[in-house]
Chains A and B, each alone.
Chain A
Amino acid sequence: SQQGEEDPQALSIQEGENATMNCSYKTSINNLQWYRQNSGRGLVHLILIRSNEREKHSGRLRVTLDTSKKSSSLLITASRAADTASYFCATDVRGGTSYGKLTFGQGTILTVHP
């Protein structure tokens, strides 16, 4: 599997439900970030969690990080139709020249039905 691999590849839910996306990675990281991409648009940063953090909240978003399992999850609570987008995790790999060289997964396509 690749560094920063999301699961599931696609998720379809009803408005008001919670959406959970998972990300696994292979190497040690400085931090892990989640981005959102609407169709045909650029990426928007959602949240960053550092390697020494276990959980972080931002509005309706909750991110967890388990460095022992090399995995992270993104929870969107009380989803809205406007949350429909692709969600990517990106890892900042520890060591070497990690100058903005984020490693992105292939993303989870979230569809929220009104």
Chain B
Amino acid sequence: NAGVMQNPRHLVRRRGQEARLRCSPMKGHSHVYWYRQLPEEGLKFMVYLQKENIIDESGMPKERFSAEFPKEGPSILRIQQVVRGDSAAYFCASSPHGGGLNTGELFFGEGSRLTVL
């Protein structure tokens, strides 16, 4: 039973390029969350998605960032025109059911580490 799969594990981009990060949730999980971790800091919530729907994107920067979770295929976090401040580890997590009013355990992937030169 594979866990949450993220790729690439490491990504290097130059300023102005685009970064695409992919996440396949655990089997049977239909809820996906993206978090960002800056160096020496805790994780910050970005977005929560279910299949074909963005449920909560309150942690997502208004510009250049977008996320999707299509009916088929992995969830994608897309960062356009990257800047140095986007350098961070981006973690995807999944759960078998939505948080509703009570968030249970989240299952995290190994993360994608983005470096912007």
Q: Which residues 83-117 in B have Cβ within 8 Å of A in the complex?
A: 91, 93, 95, 98-111
- Which A residues are in CB contact (< 8 Å) with B58? 97, 101
Q: How far is the CA of A35 from the CA of B93 in the complex (A)?
A: 13
How many residues on B have C-beta within 8 angstroms of the other chain's C-beta atoms?
A: 32
A48 within 8 A of B: yes
B12 within 8 A of A: no
Interface contact B98-A4, CB-CB below 8 Å? no
Q: When chains A and B are docked, how far (Å) is the Cα of A107 from the Cα of B95?
A: 22
Interface size class of A (residues with CB under 8 A): 20 to 34
CA of A9 to CA of B35, assembled, Å? 21
Interface check B63, CB cutoff 8 A? no
CB 8 Å contact bits of A10-41 with B (1 = contact, 0 = none):
00000000000000000000110101000001
B98 to chain A, nearest CB (A): 6
* A77 beta carbon closer than 8 Å to chain B: no
CB closest residue in chain B, given A95: B101
Chain B: which residue is nearest A94 at the CB level? B101
Which B residues form the contact surface with A (CB < 8 A)? 4, 31, 33, 35, 40-45, 48, 55-56, 58-59, 91, 93, 95, 98-111
By a beta-carbon cutoff of 8 Å, the part of chain A in contact with chain B is: 4, 30-31, 33, 35, 41-45, 48, 88, 90, 92, 94-95, 97-107
17 further contact pairs, Cβ within 8 A, besides A42-B91, A45-B107? A30-B102, A31-B103, A43-B43, A44-B108, A48-B104, A88-B43, A97-B56, A99-B56, A100-B33, A100-B56, A100-B103, A101-B56, A101-B99, A102-B45, A102-B103, A104-B42, A106-B42
